[in-house]
Amino acid sequence: MSFSYITMAFSAAILVILGMVYSFFPQEILSELVQEPTPILVLVLQLLGAVYIGFGVMNWMLKNVKIGGIYARPLTLGNFAHFFIGGLSIVRLVIEEEASSFYVFIFLVIYVVFAGMFARLIFS
């Protein structure tokens, strides 16, 4: 298996799982994050879940495509931008000590690892 296949397959799996959790358990997630589950916050999490599922399905469908350099560059850049910008946002929260939950650190690790993996695909 190639590095691009592993990157796409694992990112697809993680994104679809997160998307399903966000889509079907928004109240529980908000309660865990010490937020009152208002209808608008529930909707935002469900929409985020839909985006994650969409990204995950796209990654899964294109896991066998040759990726790297100029091949599948829009797909790779989109994934890299998502994980890099998301990772920076999580790092900012951790540095400002506004979020010190175990779940935040799990997300930080996931986002940093995938940002690195997609960066390797872009620049190789």
pLDDT for 35-45, tens place per residue? 788 899 999 99
pLDDT in the model for residue 111: 96
Residue reference for tokens 């890099």? 84
Report the DSSP beta bridge partners of residue 68: 71
For residue range 50-74, list pLDDT tens digits in order: 999 999 999 999 999 888 767 788 9
Quickly state the pLDDT bin for 102 (edges 50, 70, 90).
Answer: confident
pLDDT in the model for residue 124: 79
Residue 77 has pLDDT above 80, yes or no: yes
Give the predicted TM-score (pTM) of the model.
0.88
Token duo for residue 74: 């829009």
Report the chain's mean pLDDT, rounded to a whole number: 91
pLDDT in the model for residue 103: 83
Amino acid at 49: G
Q: What is the DSSP string of 52-94?
A: HHHHHHHHHHTTTS--BTTBTHHHHHHHHHHHHHHHHHHHHHH
Q: Rounded mean pLDDT of 80-105? A: 88
Residue 100 has pLDDT above 80, yes or no: no
